[in-house]
Chain A
Amino acid sequence: MKRKINEKILLYKIKTKKDPEAFGQLYDLYIEKIYRFIYFKVNSKEESEDLTSAVFLKVWSYLIEHKEKEVDSFSGLVYKIARNIVIDFYRSKAVHKEYPIDILEEIGEDDHNLYKIEMNQEVEKIMKDIKKLKYEYQEVITLKYVDDLEVSKIAEILDRSQTNIRVIMHRAIKKLKSFQENNK
């Protein structure tokens, strides 16, 4: 609750006074989450960094240029913009024929795009399994368990109902379980 009010105060300062410091504080709160969110989709550190920077600049522009539009929550806004930026990224890649457009649906099943990362073997396994899931399942799982967002917030970001999100969560976990059992 306190964090929520703090975010609202910072948002108020940005919209009314164009306070860069207030935006800086919001950047500090969300930078890691947005980076992880993007990284799960693009699997590239450099691309993730570039896209994450772009997300925050775009959020700032949106807040300044659309003062009349009400922003209920900063997290909803920043995740939506991040999602759109990733989609735009893949569209532009598809245009240049670097990645097919349907990669958005299939990227989780393509092991060749995964980079090796230094982490615990178990975690690595689970990451691989997550990548096998449907794109929407991945989003929900990472937003819920990695970024610790509430179901209502996830529903807002993905523009779905809360019931739908819970169903996806349940199915995603079930799928991961089946992957684990198959691995054994």
Chain B
Amino acid sequence: MSREIIEKIKQMKNYNGQINPDQVWIAKNREQMMTQIKNTVPEIKPKFNFKMVWQAIGIFIPNKIVYNVVRPLVVFILVGTLTTSGWIASVSATQNSLPGELGYSVKRATEKTQVVVASIISTEEVEAQIHMDLASKRAKEIKQVVVENKNNFIKNAQVAMVDLEKSIQTAEKKIKSVGETKPEKVLEVSKNVTEKAKEIKENLKNVEVQNNEIDINKVQKITNEISIGTVELVVKKKEEGKVIISEEEVKKLVSDQIESISSDANIVQQKAEIVVDQIVAVESLQTTSTTEVATSGLSMLENTVSTKSLVEGTSKTVADNIQQTEKSLTEAKTLVENNHLLEAIQKVKEVTQVNQEIAQAVKETQKAVIEVQSQINQQNLIVNTTTNIGSTIPVSTTTNIGSTTLVSTTIKIEEKN
């Protein structure tokens, strides 16, 4: 019976009459209403605001969820995105900046943030890679700064050099730690390290070619150390059975290091030859000079070298060392072939050490020669005097390679024939 009643009630709306509105009235009323409400609508369209977004979302999701869940979440994401994108925008604008330029501090700050984040969330092997990446970046920057040759470029390059050193040193620590805690990751790390070390050396080589006032020896030394050290770690861990790597692959790693050091030795030899040529040039300047030393006015002339002994000393010592280097590297290659990899690495290390010392000596000699050269030129320009023949003035510069004295420096004014 309930159903019948309900059915009857439902039928009420189907009947015309006063219970249902008159259709004519509906239409008329609508027209009147629309006229009235259109008068209340302003001509200026409302501007967009975020409330419209929530209202639009509220079409599909209950308003309570929109305002208590969706909106806070979206705001959080938006703030995060805007902050990050703003950060990214400013960072990307500064990514190409060089030491000494305006955006460089921002670039460094973002890199430091990256390092901090990596230290929190990443593993040590990833951190090592990040530091090597940063070191490689520094090397590129130094090269670019030197090429562009702007104001204070030497100082700027040196600042970047310091950062480069620090990055490599940090990477080295991380790699040591990886070797102790996660030896299985050492191989992966070594690939990145050797690749980056190669890039760094390449860039620094170009730096020296452009401007030899910037001392790259120390950085080259630590770059070599980390590269060889990582390969040594791989070899050790392989022998301990903690790293899975084929014989061929590990031999290749060591051979690559030998090749790298051999290439460095050749470069040093070339530098030495350049220095010898410079010394010869200085000698010719000296012998054609007609100036005399006036002690009262020209006390700066203190570093004129005995060129003959310098040429002989330099050439002989460098040649000896290069010969020794070649011999050692050949021995290293033999050791690799015979699978004595750790001994081979030891040889490579010795050669690297000697190479480094030669390079340092050559550099210092070159500095001395350049200084002398410039002072002779200066002397020729400002003084037109007679030479005091026979007088000698002691000189300050001496350089040792191993136990051999490379440069004997004396001032000797010789009579011109």
Question: B-contacting residues of A (Cβ < 8 Å)?
Answer: 5, 8-9, 11-12, 15-18, 20, 23-24, 27-28, 31-32, 35-36, 39-40, 45, 48-49, 52-53, 56-57, 60-61, 64, 67-68, 70, 72, 115, 117-120, 122-123, 126-127, 130, 141-142, 145-147, 173, 176-177, 180
Contact = CB atoms under 8 A, between A and B. Distances in A.
Nearest to A19: B41
Contact of A20 (B34, B45, B67): B34
Chain B CB within 10 Å, residue with most, of A45, A48, A115, A145: A145
Given A8-B59, A9-B59, A53-B33, A119 B17 contact: yes
A89 B60 CA distance: 36
A5 B60 contact: yes
A146 B63 contact: no
Interface stretch (B5-13, B79-87, B403-411): B5-13
Interface in B27-75: 29-30, 32-34, 36-38, 40-42, 45-46, 51-52, 55-56, 58-60, 62-63, 67
Contacts of A48: 18, 21
Contact of A17 (B45, B51, B67): B45
Given A5-B60, A16-B55, A177-B2, A123 B11 contact: yes
Nearest to B48: A16
B19 interface: yes
A104 to B, nearest CB: 20
B381 interface: no
B40 A64 contact: yes
Interface SS majority for chain B:
helix
Given A24-B33, A24-B34, 19 more contacts: A11-B59, A12-B58, A18-B40, A20-B41, A31-B26, A31-B30, A32-B26, A36-B20, A49-B21, A52-B21, A60-B40, A70-B55, A117-B15, A118-B16, A118-B17, A119-B19, A127-B12, A130-B9, A173-B5
B15 A16 contact: no
Contacts of B52: 12, 16
B55 A12 contact: yes
Given A36-B20, A39-B19, A123-B11, A72 B59 contact: no
A94 to B, nearest CB: 24
Contacts of A28: 30
Given A35-B21, A53-B33, A180 B9 contact: no
Nearest to B62: A72
Contact of A39 (B9, B18, B55): B18
